[in-house]
Structures are given as structure tokens and as C-alpha cells.
Chains A and B, each alone.
Chain A
């Protein structure tokens, strides 16, 4: 027996009688709750004698009519009656939605918390850097604490595995620089200076900057995600209780490997970019490779290479620190791992670019034009 719930509205002995029939179940209710809501009047008699099956949602529909507008239930089967009683029991004040704060205070609140959060992150990062330095000092005092296997493994993941993608990216960037530069310089009849543009920009800025961005995306994010999920699975806590310092076992190898790998990758990226530019010059501008290499050697001062070699490890340090720091901040949920990973990459790239600006000013001041 399955029938759609129905409700007839009659007046008997001066009282409103709502006579229900059919199954009062979620699947059969249809628009009945809305219909009852729209019904005017108070103090009904609800006759359930025609009702077959009833589930909690059906019972709730009856219960809320009785609760909100008064009424008496008659003719319910014993089972349905006990269900109604149970519904009355579970009708307790429950908060369903968070109360929204007023718009003005909410904006202030967000502004304030964002500021506090930014300050806290900066302090945290600084504290993390300090803790790492202490870790480094300990490793220096007791060299056996240095985890050479972990470091070598990171070398592979951070460095060797990145060769392909960084090479391809740099090659393409080299071609784009050459092509765009040639178009502009042609207007002054100075096409030959394309070589200067390629050589200097690749070694001084692009090689190291593009590599930093790629490493932040590949490795900084991976660090945050790895450490974050380890933190979540209480692996980090387990490590501490066994007496292994997470700083030594997890953070130092990653930071050290990134610091070591960044200069190598950056140099490689710069060279590949020059090769890419050189090929464009050869094909597009008819500058033969021999001439190209000779020009590069003439126009690129060795200080450009020094700049690359100074900047790259610093950028590597920042990226690895941001990644590990964010990873170690994970506390509650898997969702946080994703958020922290994103933050690690954004923070890493942002700090790298800010520092790059400082470096540019600094190197100009010391005369490494």
C-alpha cells in the first residue's frame, strides 16, 4: 500500500479538523508541509486515523503544526503516536546557522585578523629560521647528526628531477627574449645588441628568477604538503617522542638540498636560455653561433655570474623555509594541508621577488652593474 499523503480540511462541531490519509513519509509528503504552512487558523484537530506509514519527517510535519498553532492529535496508531512523542522529545533549541556579525564589524574583524595573522606569520617564519639555525649549529657540533642519505635523496628530487622542466622552460624563455628583443631593437637598427640582452638578462635575472619560481612550485609546495600530511598523521609527534628532532630529520635536509641545488639549477637555466636565444639569433638574425658565443663572452661581465651565485642560494633558502614552515603549521584538517601548500608557494615567490629587488639595488650600489 503506497499512497501519497493527503489532507482534507473540514469543520466539525465548530472545530477545524485536518484529516490526514496515506503515508506520511518523506517520499509521499510532496507539498503537504508547504500547504500546511500556508493554512490559516489555530487550534486544529489532527485526525491521523487514515494514516498508514509515518517516518520522522512525516511525524515532524504533524508535530510542528501542533507546536506552532496548537491542536490535538487523534486517531494515531500506537506506533505513530510513540513516534510523535519522540519528535516532541527531540524538539530542542538547536543552532543551525552561525549568527552573522554586522557587516561593518565583520570588515573590521577581517582586517584586524588579517593584520594580526600577517604579523604572526612573519614572526613565526623568523622563529622558524632561528630554530633552524640552532639545528644547524647542533649538526656542526655533532656531525654524525647530519643525515646525508636524506640530503642526497632530496638532491635527486629537488635537483635532478627538475632538469627537464627547467631546461624546457628556460629554452623557451631564451627564444622569447631574443625574438621580442630583436623586434624592438630592429627599430633602432641595433639588432646586434640582442646578444647583450640575452646574455645579461639570462644570467643576471631570468635564470635565477624563473628557476626560483619553478622550484617554489615544484619543491616548496611538495615540502609543505609532505610535512603537513606527516603532521596530520601524528608522524611528527611520534618522531619527537622517539627522540628524533623533526628539525634535523625533516627540515634541515630539505633546506640544505634546496640551498645547494638552486645555484646549480639557476646556472643551468641561464645557460640553456642563452642556447635558446643563440639558436633564434642563428636562424632569425643570421648571427652564426661562433660570433654569438664570442659576443656573449665580450658583453657579459663575470660579476653577472657572481650575482647569480649569490642570489640563488638565498632564494633557495627562502623557498625551502616557507615550504617547511607552512607544512609544520598544519594542525587540524586535511583541508588545511591544501591551504598551507598554496600559502607556501605564494609566500615563497613573493619573498623571492621582494628580495630580488633589494639585491638589484644592492649590486648597483656596490658597482656590479
Chain B
């Protein structure tokens, strides 16, 4: 890339969002580093989605500075924004597939928009492998979103978000509504993509398993700002009531134990293969 390789792909400083009487964010700071998977957690109504919308420019904040790929989103020119839009992919909470287009056509929309020179055959092939990549069955291509289940819609949404092989991926509750097997497969997919393509991921989730399994760092939203960012052990060392409640609650414990058990199994397997 020609731009200076800054360490932070996203930088948010002093972000404020106010809806009428309700103050959602006040002086919020957040940085997302290149190549990391950042999980964003917070109670309902703490403005996780609003934060994402502020970063991608769908929501004009009342104050603050948002930079994505070192471009200030609020004051960027349209051409600059188009260049950024080529480099990110976004999965909305409800997948937001275009209802009048088939799954394959949905995947092709960003490709057609930004790369009109690709041949139809190439477009079809790209759509086909993206569909397989996100774990959709082979007959899903010509289906319309209305014919898909919630989980399949999510996958199709991810396929569209990945259409341009973006450097930055925004995911708003990607595993909500997926069965545990599908959610685990999704975690693996994100890890694979990160490894192969050096993806940076901004991930809003409530799924503790996902947090433990794939997030490098976790940002905690509370009291109208990001109260802490760090790895899960770092967060656990903090004395913040909500964080303790969140990760130490019965569900948090179970997820932690699952990860520990998995690691123990891997260790055993590694020993086993070493013995051979």
C-alpha cells in the first residue's frame, strides 16, 4: 500500500453522540490496530451499533474525530470515501441483504460497483467460491433472501462483506442467531481470513465463546465511553463491576472453561503426536 503504514486502522477521539435528551457517547476514545480482531462488548443500549455507524460514516456524531485508514471520515471528500469503501466490508445486524437480488447477485454488487471490468464469468465464479467459503450450501446462489433462514442470511451477508477481500471488516453481532456449530465454524472462518489476508476485524458481539476464541483485544463500552481495552486476562485484572459481572458470571465462566479444555486437549494431542 502506498499510504504510510500507520499502526492504527481506526482512530476515534472524543466521540460524542446525543439523541435528544439521551447521551449515548461522551468523549469516547478507541483505537483499532492493524491486523487485530477487536471485540466490542457492552450492555444493551450502550451504543455499540451507534459507535460502528459513527465509524463507517452512517451516523454523524455531535463531536469528535473519527479516522479510518488515516482519513477523517467526517470531513472526507466523496472520492476519498469511495476509496475507503473499497477497503472495508460490513455485516449489519440483520444481514441487510438486498431483497430483490439473489444471494449470488448480492455478493456481486460491490464487485460490479467498483470493478466493472470483471467479466460475467469471473463474477459468477467469484460469487460461487465466496458462497462456499462462508459455508452456504451449493444451491444457495440463486435463492432470494426471503427464502433463507436467519443463519443463512448472516452467512450470505458475510459473503457480501467479503466480496472485495477487504482489509477491514465490521461485524455487528455475527454469531447471534447461529447455532453453536455454525458459530464455531464462523469463528474459524474469521481466524482463517485474518491469517491469510491480514484482515483487521471490528467485532460487536455478545457471544462470550467468540470473544474467548478469536478476539485479540476486547473493548468494553460502559458509562458512555470505552472504559477499558485489553486482552481478556487484562480485563479480568481490572476492578470494574460490570466487567467482572460480565466475564465472571455463570456464562462467562463456562466459556472460559471451554477454552481451557480446548487448550488442554490440544496440548494432549501435541504430546501424543510427539510421542509417535
Contact = CB atoms under 8 A, between A and B. Distances in A.
A26 B192 contact: no
A60 B127 CA distance: 11
Interface in A67-96: 79, 82-83, 86-87, 90-96
A334 interface: yes
B117 A64 contact: no
Contacts, number: 82
A98 B104 CA distance: 10
B156 to A, nearest CB: 13
A27 B129 contact: no
B2 interface: yes
A57 B196 contact: no
Closest 7 CB pairs of A and B: A55-B165, A94-B128, A98-B142, A333-B146, A90-B132, A96-B141, A96-B104
A33 B119 contact: yes
A79 B125 contact: no
B139 interface: yes
B142 A31 contact: no
B200 interface: no
B154 to A, nearest CB: 16
A86 B133 CA distance: 9
Interface size class of A (residues with CB under 8 A): 20 to 34
Nearest to A98: B142
Interface string A319-346: 0000000000000111110000000000
Contacts of A95: 138-139, 141-142
Contacts of B142: 95-98
A82 B195 CA distance: 10
Interface in B30-87: 86
Interface of A: 2, 25-27, 30-31, 33-34, 37, 55-57, 60, 64, 79, 82-83, 86-87, 90-98, 332-336
A91 B102 CA distance: 20
B98 to A, nearest CB: 11
Interface string B140-158: 1110011000000000000
A64 B125 contact: yes
A27 B82 CA distance: 13
Interface string B219-230: 000000000000
A91 B129 contact: yes
A90 B133 contact: yes
B237 interface: no
Nearest to A95: B141
Contacts of B139: 94-95
B241 interface: no
A96 B142 CA distance: 5
Contacts of B133: 56, 90
